[in-house]
Amino acid sequence: MNHQKRYLAICAISVIFLFTVASVGPASYSKAVNIYEKIRVLNQIISIVNENYVEPVNWDEALDGAFLGLLDELDPHSSYISRDKLETVNEQFHGKFEGIGIEFDLLGGYITVIAPVVDSPSDRAGLQPGDKIVSIDGEDAYEITREDVYNTLRGPKGTAVLLTIRRPGQEETFNVEIIRDQIPIYSLISSFMIDDRTGYMRLTRFASSTSQEVSEAVKSLRAEGMTRLIFDLRTNSGGYLEQAVNVADLFITSPDTLVYTAGRKAEMSEVYVASPKRGYGDFAVIVLINRWSASASEIVAGAVQDLDRGLVMGETSFGKGLVQRQWPLKDGSALRVTIARYYTPSGRLIQRPYDNGTRDYYEDLGKEDREELLDSLRMDKPKYKTKRGREVHGGGGISPDVYVPLPEYTATTTRLVGHPRRLTFNWGTDYAKERKADWKDLVEFNRDFQITAELTENFLTYAKNQNVDFDRKELDKDISYLKSVLKAEVAGAIWGKSAYYQMFVSNDPQVTTALSHFDEAAEFLVHH
C-alpha cells in the first residue's frame, strides 16, 4: 500500500466518536485463522529482515506501515494513528491548543499570515493578513518547514515569542512580542444575514464546541430577524457523534429518533432521540451538502430530510455510515476501529460500498458522472419513507431533495484561483492595505465597491509579473467568478474570514439556487 493510500485512509475523512474507552478483554478470533501462529510468523519475518537486510531498517516506520496495512484490510475508516500525528489529529476536534493563533501558509519562503484567529494573541497583537514572519526569536525563518512552524510558534500558555514582521506597504520590518495563550479552533467559520430574512451558517467540522457555536449563532440570527436559514455543510468531513446529534436536535421540535447505531456488541447499539424543548421550529431550513460532506454532516442532513424538517440541496454526500472508537496505545499512538454502523431516522444505512478497496473508495468521489452512477445504483437499493411519506434511498450517501451540481470552471481559472502562491489573496491583501480607509463597514463596502475591468487587468498584470501563465480566452468564460473571488479577498483582508465568505456567497451558484427554493422549504413548517 503506498503512502498516499495510507494517508487517505487516516486523514481524508477524520471522524472521532466519543465513547468511554474500556479495557480490551479476551478476544474471540476467527476459527479459520490461528492468530497466534500468524503472530509467530510476523516475529520470524522481523527477525530475518533485521538480521539480513542489506541496509539498517527503520523499524518505527516499517511497523507503522504494517499497522496501517492491517487496519486498511478492515474498512476505509479503521486506522492506526502514529504518535507524531496523534496530537494534530486530536486538535482538529478538541478545539483548542496553545500558541499564537494564526492561519498561515508558506509563501515565497516565509510564513505568511492568512488570518489571525479571532481574539487570539496574534489578533490582539495586531497581526494582519499578508504579514510575513521573517524571523522567530532572532532566528531567520526563511524556507522554514511546516513542522518547524508548529514547533516554534506553538508553546505553553504564558510564554513569549518575538516575531519580526514584514508588512505589505511598509519598507521597514518591525518586531512584535506575543504571549502565547490557549487558542480555540472554531468549527462555525461564518454566520451572517444574507438579506433581511435569510441567515447563513457555514460549518467545517463537528468538534467539541460545535453545538454551542451553532446554538449561539441561531439565537443571534433569529434576533436579527431570520425567518429562513441556509445551513452549509459542504466539505464538512464530520466529527463527534454527540455533536452531530446536538446540532440536529436544534432543528427538531418533536421527540423523534435523530440517529441510531448498531454494532456486534449490544453496548455499541444506541438510539439518540430529540429533546423537543431544545429545538427551533420557527424558521425554514435548507441544508447544503456536497460529495465531501461526510459522517456527522450526513447525520444532520439525514435527520432534517427523514423528519421532513427542511430541504437538502446540492450533491449526494460522501456516504460514510461507520462509527469509530479510539483506543490509546502504550507508545503514545492510537487505534481507531469501526465498532458500529449508524442509521438515519427512516432506517437508512448511508455507507457506500468499499469492496474494491480504499483507493477506489476515495477516487469514486472525483468522477464527473458520479451522480448518474449513484442514481443507477439506487435502483437496486432499499427504499425508505420519510416522516411524511416521501421516498428516500439508502446505500450511498444522502441524496439531495434538489440536485445542484458543483459549478464548473475552466482549467485556467482553477489554476489561477487555486495557485499555490495564493495570487488572489496576495493581490487582495495589497489592495486592501491601500484602500481600507475608503469604507466604514462591510455593508458600505459591499454596496459601493466593485471589481472593475481595470482592477481585473491590474490583477492579471500582477499574475504575469509573478511569471504565471494563463489562457485569457478560457479565463474570460469565468470572469464573474474571478471578480467575486477578488472582492471576497479584499473584504477578508480588512474584516476577516467571515467577511470573505459573506462576499463570496453572494455569487455562489449553489447558494443562489438555494435561495430560490425557500417556498418549498417553508412548506415543511406547515406540517412540522
Catalytic residues, by residue number, are 295, 306, 320
> Which is it for the CA torsion 315, 320, 326, 331, positive or negative?
negative
Residue 472 burial class via C-beta count within 10 angstroms: exposed 0-12, middle 13-18, buried 19 and up: exposed
Q: Are 305 and 347 in contact (CB under 8 A)?
A: no
Tell me the three cell numbers of residue 352.
457506500
Cβ-based neighbour number of residue 481 at 10 Å: 19
Tell me the three cell numbers of residue 516.
430560490
Rounded Cα gap, residues 144 and 147, in angstroms: 8
Rounded Cα gap, residues 492 and 49, in angstroms: 55
Rounded Cα gap, residues 122 and 324, in angstroms: 36
Rounded Cα gap, residues 148 and 134, in angstroms: 14
Nearest Cα residue to 104 out of 415, 414, 413, 422: 422
CA dihedral 401, 246, 77, 361 (to 10 degrees): 10
Q: Residues near 340 by Cβ (< 8 Å), separated by ≥ 6? A: 261, 262, 263, 268, 269, 322, 323
Q: What would you measure as the largest C-alpha separation in the chain, in angstroms?
A: 75
Rounded Cα gap, residues 401 and 313, in angstroms: 6
Beta partners for residue 311, in sequence order: 286
Rounded Cα gap, residues 401 and 124, in angstroms: 44
In 120-198, which ranges are continuous DSSP H helix? 121-124, 146-153
Rounded Cα gap, residues 253 and 274, in angstroms: 7
